[in-house]
Structure 1
């Protein structure tokens, strides 16, 4: 098999005089490496000429002719290898720093700081648009915050366009669906669209994408989210919840500007980048006289970053409303504290473990008692102490319950006042039942009058019991308990999953990727224990599509480190996995339909003889399918 680019371009190797230090990342059109030459760093972007060379030439065409403020600079370019060129290599300015979204996670900015970051970006777009250039893939992960001065820098013009640029066919430019404007979605879904007809991307599309970025920075969730088919409908409807409603710490003026950028009708939006700059400058003037603009938008991880609003709200008359509120809890941002000593977590977790978890551990009867309306005499509320950071928590790694930009808080975390959530999952001092909500659970479905579910609700004195049972059942849907040990029944793929894999990601049904199971140790292939329920796997290596028989060409559909989440079911002799969500390291989320397979070509993974816990080989394949068998 022909060696991959990573096999040849390795740390320490030299490419046309540039010494490679490490790989920085990968996207649909190229892979980027940090390199050094003449004592200075630069970023080398390798674009495969045979498969996606047209896009590379477009990027080169745009960058050669312009140099914009707050936009990454092109330093040079060449084709490589010299004797038989396979790649166009763009030598770009190296911008040390993190993405705009990661900056928000790390620093927990206030509203004023958001405007201070967006204003230079708006000025950069003003200069870009003045030259009739459009980026067309504007998102938080294509904006870097330079660590030396904190300035935002726009990167990756791989999907960009300008007059007379080399033409590339396609109805829409490649981009994340969440950043598409309503008119772009309407064009894509139009039945009378002619073959070869392309969407006329405008400045208002670009500013709509910037509105999505602002919404995410302010609320920590996308304005619209969910499976692709639902997401398309929500974007077309165009009625996002105001940021100030989703997060009460967002100033009303900033919320209104965000909604203006996201208006359904193009003529109702901010008309151009110049007008946006004026609006942001006015907000900065307003921020000087209003102390609310200096309040961090999210809760921090420290004691003074928590309030009495953290108190549990399971006790009440409407548990369903509480659950809906819990799903969108406000996330933690900022630098987490160092993990406490090994002996502290047990003491500190003794009280904060929530009523729901305690109830599920000791029995349903206690849950029913805790969910009844509170007694007439008030009970003092004890503030919840700061919870320790679980050892396995990572700000970069999405968890199985991830439904938004960050993770939704698991049920044992204390709820908070506004929308958003605390991420992470931790070992607890006693066995607990873990409940996991899928992205679809955020949309509550009403029970039909007279249905069996409605009768059960009327016949039971506790609505909360029904809520908790429903959540627990959803977490283990289509997977029998470990004691049953039989193969799961066939099941349809999630809505829109097959189209996402084949049309958006470019996969063929039957394509495979390699994954590591939880518990796998570095350079150690000893069997790992598994159990029924939610599973989160890590993609090992890039999942490339469109390669030839020798593994040449193609592009990356899902990059190395992508988190694949779904359900695991233990059968009599094999363990079966059904993957329904893929979250890339950059945060892009896709609804997928994949099954766990062995290298040998059999569905499921054979259970290793152990006599105790169920164990399997720690490395497996995932295969794209059109139905769970």
Structure 2
């Protein structure tokens, strides 16, 4: 089932005795919050029952049997609301820290620090494998590094597997993240794509391969395999030997480079035989570490790498020359530290996938943006984007995409988030020319004043806008990956068939009108609608027509340019509003 995850709970919400403070992260099946109970902090994982199936029980079962310092601890679980449960709730140890990729980017760790974090994850896997548990989704986003002592914690066993557990999906490959699948998994898919009943069983070797990818990126700040599309990336994973980490980054100790490469052997039998053996290799390496292990693995940011705040793109000249530089991590220069205009600034471009494609997309977006802006200034009904055709039943979507190796990142479900006006309600006629915002607002005010004068109304209630709120964890990076920069705007539509519609305070979604950078048209953007004097929209999750899903941070703007949708006549309810169906969405760094 495809669709957005449940909308975010507001700060202060009470769930099974826990008080929600803020969102920590969001995935395809639910959301994780920082919550408190009796003054103590907890990580509260709220999973939508119709969507997760057995995942909640499976994660509870795995975490209950795994008690290890490098595995996030479980403290309790239940179902909510109690009378008519819609969510499974898992209360876990709160790890006050950062995701591994965010930690590495901010701290610019030394080889010694990186090896210790790597060892912590290896120890977590060793404990899991010894108990017959396979994680199946080892990646940076599922490793937390505690701020107080640098201890690594492996999290999110929701798609983990163990002997006797039933399949979570009916696809050839089990759930997982595309880029982190092992060569043997891809070989199995290629060899069995015409056999829909075939099932690949992930084992400890798959976890070790994924940890090898994590370690490579930790040591070099780069991915070991490259490809312009899923098919070429998969081909690289199957056939191409990665550049040794110590050659990619000369600050990587040779012994760590060798340990990493053994995890990335194409054949599982040639790979490091177990997580326990990996722990022993890393412990031996750390015992032999010298002073060179205490130098940061990457260069720090400096004047020769400064960009304007929010910019992270290469110039055309940089792309043409593409000089090799050691990647940079650590604290960025503030705008005040950036050299003044007219100063020559060299920017070290990071090795990334699809530089040429990104530039071509940038040119196309510039052309489309000019046309879109002209259309968006008028309140005229726009044609809706063409719907993606649904796959025929009985055929595995993964088998269909095996040749291109483009598998959906997560299963989702359809969700009804808005209600339309009844068909027998006559639509409000549109003026022949767009009405200026100031004139329309004045007309509303005069009309309201006349009615109140006649009826003796009390003073008008002005509802304040919602308070500021941070973006979901990883949203800004996810948007950048799809070519969307902070401040970018694009057209979207609340409903494909209606000119006006009624929306409720609560979960909401819009559909992307056309392709936006690398994000395809017809992508569903979901989050929360907040009904005030305007209808504010905070969109936190995107689901593409092909099933890819990721966090976003997008504000809804009216076509007149206002933040939030203007309320149309016909609904004065404090919890619902009638709005125009067309809108803009704007990429933001935080919700205002």
Asked if these proteins are the same fold (TM beyond 0.5), I'd say yes
Corresponding residue of 2:24 = 24
Q: 1:192 to 1:95 in 2, by over 3 A?
A: closer
Whole-angstrom distance in 2 between the partners of 1:101 and 1:185: 25
CA contact (8 A) 1:135 1:157 kept: yes
Residues 238 and 263, structure 1, Cα contact 8 Å, conserved in 2: no
Q: Cα–Cα, structure 1 residues 208 and 504, in superposed 2: closer, same or farther, change >3 Å?
A: same
In 2, distance between residues paired with 1:66 and 1:262?
A: 27
Q: How far has the Cα of 1:24 moved from its partner?
A: 1.4
Residue 209 (structure 2) aligns with = 208
1:250 correspondence with 2:201: no
Give the superposition deviation at 1:201: 0.8
For structure 1, which runs of at least 5 residues remain unmatched after alignment? 307-313, 354-412, 422-437, 444-470, 514-521, 525-533, 544-550, 569-576, 583-587, 595-604, 609-616, 623-629
What aligned pairs does 1:500-519 form with structure 2 within 5 A after superposition? 503-506=408-411
Report if the CA contact (8 A) 1:112-1:294 is conserved. yes
Q: Aligned Cα RMSD in Å?
A: 4.9
Q: What's the CA shift for 1:192? A: 5.4
Is structure 2 residue 330 aligned with structure 1 residue 334?
A: yes
Equivalent residue pairs, number: 428
Structure 1 SS opposite 2:54: helix
Instruction: Give me the TM-score of the superposition, normalised by structure 2.
Output: 0.61
8 Å CA contact retained: 2:272, 2:278 = yes
Contact 2:169-2:175 within 8 A present in 1 as well: no
SS at match of 1:190: helix
Which residue of structure 2 aligns with residue 323 of structure 1? 320
Question: Post-superposition shift, 1:193?
Answer: 5.4
| Runs of 4+ more than 6 Å apart | 303-306, 319-322, 471-474, 481-487, 496-502, 507-513, 538-541, 577-580, 588-594, 605-608
| Structure 1 counterpart of 2:90 | 90
Answer whether contact 1:578 1:593 (CA < 8 A) is retained.
Answer: no
> 1 CA distance for matches of 2:145 and 2:160?
21
How far did residue 606 of structure 1 move? Answer: 8.1
Residue 164 (structure 2) aligns with: 164
In structure 2, the CA distance between the partners of 1:231 and 1:99, relative to structure 1 (3 Å rule), is: same
| Residue aligning to 1:366 | none
Equivalent in the alignment of 1:100 = 100
2:347 corresponds in structure 1 to 414
Partner of 2:553: none
2:584 maps to: 620
Contact 1:123–1:274 (8 Å) recurs in 2: yes
User: CA distance change for structure 1 residues 567 and 103 in 2, over 3 Å: closer, same or farther?
Assistant: closer
- 2:11 match: 11
In structure 1, the partner of 2:393 is none
Matched, 1:566 2:517: yes
Match of residue 36 from structure 1: 36
State the Cα distance separating 1:235 from its structure 2 match: 1.2
Counterpart of 1:285?
A: 287
Deviation at 1:195, TM superposition (A): 2.6
CA 1:173–1:352 in structure 2 vs 1: closer, same or farther (change >3 Å)?
same
TM-superposed CA distance for 1:593, in Å, is: 8.4
Partner of 2:274: 272
Is the 8 Å Cα contact of residues 169 and 196 (structure 1) preserved in structure 2? Answer: no
- Residues 272-315 of structure 1, C-alpha deviations (whole Å, 9 max, x = no match): 01111111112212322xx3322211110257999xxxxxxx9x
Report the CA distance between 1:125 and its aligned residue. Answer: 1.3
The separation in 1 between residues aligned to 2:197 and 2:167, in whole angstroms, is: 12
Whether 2:179 is the aligned partner of 1:178: answer yes
The alpha-carbon deviation at position 267 of structure 1 amounts to 1.4
Question: Aligned pair 1:198/2:178, yes or no?
Answer: no
Unaligned runs of 5+ in 2: 307-313, 376-384, 389-400, 419-464, 468-482, 495-502, 526-540, 548-557, 562-580, 587-592
Q: Does 1:127 find its partner at 2:122?
A: no
Q: Is contact 1:178–1:225 with CA below 8 Å preserved after alignment?
A: no
TM-score using structure 1 length: 0.58
Secondary structure of the corresponding residue to residue 11 of structure 2 = coil
Structure number with greater CO (CA < 8 Å, separation at least 6) is 2
Deviations, residues 595-622 of structure 1 (Å, cap 9, x unaligned): xxxxxxxxxx9899xxxxxxxx994369
1:35/1:41 contact within 8 Å kept: yes
Q: How does 1:345-364 map to 2 (within 5 A)?
A: 345=338, 348-353=340-345
Distance 1:248 1:540, change over 3 A: farther
CA contact (8 A) 2:491 2:584 kept: no
State yes or no: 1:139 paired with 2:139: yes
Q: CA deviation at 1:271?
A: 0.7
